[in-house]
């Protein structure tokens, strides 16, 4: 950590897939992992490093997460590299931490206040990353959320079960998880998946104002208040690990491999119609007996 010109502390580490910029007490972290921001080993490695940096005493008080890709915040994990990104996630903690779910739980426990600014698609673990942040603001015109896992063949494994059930309630959480549908920002706001949907033209200024405001507040109060809310609302490590274990088991099942293969034939994990409209696409896969 080195002092910057304006007297605040900037992040010294540079990350291959995360651009950073400091403005006062606020760090802007921009995901940029071309071609489409898949959550693979590189992104997870950089998240692990960023979380370590943000855990230092002099770290910025507030972090805003955004994407350099207008279409994809995080489309989902790289399904061809589950063992590799899981191995990177394991570096964040001790035994039992080898999962995105536990990594995201660490994100929720950061002393820094985390704000997600959503444009483009955040599905699967991308949505679960957002759910682990403290607040979520979404572009009314350009945000899409979804948990496509069940449509592929597994339950979500990195926090969606826990967070969506607590935020949306049993009925809407079951709808989101079991239908694997795409949700636009307005519906996500009505359901409580995001704090608010805002007109795209107002989103940047709104989030910057919130971040700057919170960044000027006493650090001790922010940390104590966040910790108290977390004590009421975060799932336990046991719950997070159980979801991760179930995902890691089912993702290897033959049925999942078949459906994933069918998706790849249609352009899965490339910039195209299948990924842009993954929610509707799932309904067109060969139905399972």
Q: How far is the CB of 16 from a copy of itself (least distance, A)?
A: 29
98-127 residues near a copy of itself, rule: CB under 8 A: 113
d(CA 151, CA 127): 15
Distance CA 53, CA 40 (A): 20
* C-alpha span between 271 and 42 (Å, rounded): 19
Q: Can residue 21 be called a binding residue for a copy of itself (CB under 8 A)?
A: no
Shortest spacing between CB 57 and a copy of itself, in angstroms = 13
Provide the mask over 164-203, with x wherever binding to a copy of itself is found by CB under 8 A and - wherever it is not. xxxx-xxxxxxx-xxxxx-------xx-x-xx--------
* CB-based contacts of 80, cutoff 8 Å, min separation 6: 269
Piece in contact with a copy of itself (CB under 8 A), picked from 14-22, 200-208, 236-244, 270-278: 236-244
19 binds a copy of itself (CB under 8 A): no
Cβ of residue 286: shortest distance to a copy of itself, in angstroms?
Answer: 8
Contacts of residues 1-6 at CB distance under 8 Å and 24 or more positions apart, as own/partner, are: 1/53, 1/56, 1/58, 1/59
The bridge status of strand 182-184 relative to strand 135-146 is: antiparallel
Angstrom distance (rounded) from CA 151 to CA 285: 9
Residues 125-154 binding a copy of itself (CB under 8 A) are 133-136, 149-154
Nearer to a copy of itself, 20 or 147 (CB): 147
Binding-site size for a copy of itself (CB under 8 A) equals: 76
């Amino acid at each position: 950590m080195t002092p910057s010109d304006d007297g605040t502390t900037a992040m010294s580490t540079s990350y291959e897939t995360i651009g950073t910029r400091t403005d006062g007490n606020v760090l802007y972290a921009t995901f940029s992992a071309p071609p489409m921001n898949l959550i693979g080993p590189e992104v997870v490695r950089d998240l692990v490093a960023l979380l370590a940096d943000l855990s230092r005493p002099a770290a910025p008080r507030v972090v805003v997460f955004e994407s350099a890709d207008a279409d994809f915040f995080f489309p989902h994990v790289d399904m061809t590299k589950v063992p590799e990104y899981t191995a990177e996630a394991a570096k964040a903690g001790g035994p039992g931490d080898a999962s995105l779910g536990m990594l995201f739980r660490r994100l929720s426990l950061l002393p820094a206040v985390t704000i997600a600014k959503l444009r483009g698609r955040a599905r699967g673990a991308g949505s679960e990353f957002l759910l682990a942040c403290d607040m979520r603001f979404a572009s009314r015109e350009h945000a899409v959320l979804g948990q496509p896992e069940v449509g592929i063949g597994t339950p979500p494994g990195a926090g969606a079960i826990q967070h969506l059930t607590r935020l949306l309630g049993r009925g809407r959480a079951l709808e989101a998880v079991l239908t694997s549908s795409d949700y636009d920002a307005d519906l996500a706001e009505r359901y409580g998946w995001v704090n608010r949907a805002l007109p795209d033209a107002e989103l940047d200024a709104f989030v910057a104002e919130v971040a700057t405001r919170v960044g000027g507040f006493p650090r001790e109060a922010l940390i104590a208040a966040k910790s108290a809310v977390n004590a009421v609302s975060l799932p336990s490590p046991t719950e997070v690990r159980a979801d991760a274990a179930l995902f890691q088991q089912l993702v290897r099942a033959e049925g999942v491999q078949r459906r994933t293969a069918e998706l790849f034939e249609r352009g899965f994990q490339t910039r195209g119609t299948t990924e842009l409209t993954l929610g509707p696409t799932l309904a067109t896969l060969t139905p399972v007996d």
